[in-house]
Amino acid sequence: MEHELVLVIDFGGQYNQLIARRVREHKIYCEVISYKTPIEEIRAKNPKGIIFTGGPNSVYLEDSPRMGAEIFELGVPIFGICYGAQFMVYGLGGTVEKANDSAVAEFGRTDCEFDTESLLFGGLKEKSVVWMSHNDHIEKLPEGFRAICHSDKCPYGAIENPEKKFYGTQFHPEVNHTEQGFEMLGNFLYKVCGCKGDWTMEKYAETAIREIREKVGSGKALLALSGGVDSSVACKLLANAIGSQLTCIFVDHGLMRKNEGDEVEAAFANSGVNFVRVNAGERFLGKLTGIDEPESKRKIIGEEFIRVFEEEAKKIGKVDFLVQGTIYPDVIESGLGDAAVIKSHHNVGGLPDYVDFKEIIEPLRLLFKDEVRALGTTLGLDEKLVWRQPFPGPGLAIRIIGDITPEKVTILQDADAIFREEIANAGLDRSINQYFAVLTNMRSVGVMGDGRTYDYTLALRGVTTSDFMTADFSRIPYDILEKVSIRIVNEVKNINRIVYDITSKPPATIEWE
Ligand code: XMP
């Protein structure tokens, strides 16, 4: 693709993805590559700028990550962050000292003063808070460098060699706690590297569509559409690129949320692709009869999913390309741009083994989740699908505690739809990261009108989280919970009690099963 490129060279820092996202937020395309990448490969990429990430090591240790001196001879601007800055100093003949040699280790919020004459800090406030996290510190600068920021403890909070366009900070400009961090990165990218900011989703879509057409030629492609954000956006992109050469198979296991199967169909059935919806609800429910153990439910659904997909794929025969919705965090996590790595934890895992195809296409491989959403919007994908919250592959099966019946599925779909509607009405649908209803297998006594009831308890769950590994329960206002509770008990049969889950993860998980 013809656009400006910035390389983020990863030295093992915990914020490598965050740096890349910040660069992209500045509308500049970047790639994260390993510090082990051969210099010829880096040169061939012709980057406008290079950013060294932080890292857990000390530069002077024997096995710490280092690059050859050639990286400093490319004539490309470099910005080193934390370990990256220390590596730059070390690599160019300065010295870096251990923390225990002096008292200059710094962690957390730190007040700093900046030299706004430097391009890196041009137009910024002279004093602000930064996020430090370093044990080691720069002791002696290499030739041609000068200090451009200091804190009480640290004389070299940031350094520059303007002639060579080398910059470094001991702090992390990429984290939100660094008040002017985003602007600093912007200064580096625009003022030092001379970037123009040509990374837009319109352009991405245009180029991706052209490239997909070139690659696929007159061949056939197959995509497993789950209705999730990634597979939906991939489908839309492919639909625009190759239309009827694409077949997408949407296995509706009957355990989607209310109307969701129809929404997916409406979004794709008339988009020019061959759209196959397999209504396999009865088949899945049949397999699940009498099963109440969560892991067994998952296993049965996973296997059945593959069986159904396989049967449909066989009807199509040999295809040339299998489309997968792999996104950039998967690529980074599974081995830094290694082209051979294919997403292993796919919702419908194992598909490639069962389908006869020549090659894989991963059209979202370079995008972060928010960029995938932006691309979906650019392509005109239904907002409901663009902003769909994560939904587990086994669907409502793991939100019905105990055994599953068609009646229970309907009860849960209706109750969950009311909850979602009220959350959206309250404008909370984008701030709560995941929210849903769970049908427990507990019944209790209630009174409605003049009669006694003995019905199910429904649990509501709402969580705030950035990575779904840990989560906090959402503080949904009581008046909204009250409205939801009244509506569900009145509108959905067989529910007479509603509880709200106030556990975080850990110790609980987000799903109940
Ligand atoms: P837990 O319950 O483990 O969930 O805290 C973390 C995230 O993963 C989703 N989840 C699943 N997704 N298949 C999936 O595709 C599954 O079996 C599954 N179980 C949980 C869950 O919805 C949450 O976003």
What does each of the 513 residues of the chain score in pLDDT, given as a tens digit? Answer: 578 999 999 998 878 888 998 999 999 999 999 999 999 999 999 999 999 999 888 898 888 999 999 999 999 999 999 999 999 999 999 999 886 655 667 778 899 999 999 999 999 999 999 998 877 889 999 999 999 999 988 899 999 999 999 999 999 999 988 999 999 999 999 999 999 999 999 989 998 999 999 999 999 999 999 999 999 999 999 999 999 999 999 999 999 999 999 999 999 999 999 999 999 999 999 999 999 999 999 999 999 998 999 899 889 888 999 999 988 887 776 655 333 333 233 344 445 566 778 899 999 998 988 899 999 999 999 998 999 999 999 999 999 999 999 999 999 999 999 999 999 999 999 999 999 999 999 999 999 888 999 999 999 999 999 878 889 999 999 999 999 999 999 999 999 999 999 999 999 999 999
Q: How many CB atoms lie within 10 A of CB 134?
A: 22
Cα dist. 262→150, 252, 265, 267, 387 in Å? 59, 10, 5, 9, 17
> What is the C-alpha separation between 453 and 463, in angstroms, rounded?
31
CB 263 within 8 A of CB 382: yes
Predicted confidence at residue 342, as pLDDT, reads 30
Q: What are phi and psi of 114, to 5 degrees?
A: -115, 150
CB 157 within 8 A of CB 171: yes
> What is the C-alpha separation between 456 and 445, in angstroms, rounded?
9
Which is the closest atom of ligand 1 to the Cα of 434?
Answer: 24
Ligand 1 mean position to 447 CA, how many Å? 35
Within 13 Å and on the Cβ side, how many CA atoms surround 303? 8
Beta bridge partners of 362: none
Determine if ligand 1 sits within 6 Å of the CB of residue 215: no
Determine if ligand 1 sits within 6 Å of the CB of residue 509: yes
DSSP string, 241-287: HHGGGEEEEEEE-S-SPTTHHHHHHHHHTTSSSEEEEEE-HHHHHHH
Token pair of 355, please? 């389908």
The pTM (predicted TM-score) of the whole model is 0.79
Ligand 1 mean position to 388 CA, how many Å? 14
Question: In a mutational test of the pocket of ligand 1, which residue from 435, 504, 510, 513 has the highest number of ligand atoms less than 8 Å from its CB?
Answer: 510
Could you tell me where the DSSP H helices lie in 77-189?
Answer: 83-91, 181-186
Residues labelled as active-site residues: 82, 172, 174
Question: In a mutational test of the pocket of ligand 1, which residue from 511, 512, 513 has the highest number of ligand atoms less than 8 Å from its CB?
Answer: 511
Among 148, 152, 143, 75, CA closest to 117: 148
Determine if ligand 1 sits within 6 Å of the CB of residue 390: yes
Ligand 1 mean position to 293 CA, how many Å? 16
Determine if ligand 1 sits within 6 Å of the CB of residue 434: yes
Determine if ligand 1 sits within 6 Å of the CB of residue 468: yes
Determine if ligand 1 sits within 6 Å of the CB of residue 298: yes
Residues 6+ apart with CB under 8 A from 386: 229, 232, 233, 373, 376, 377
Ligand 1 mean position to 238 CA, how many Å? 27
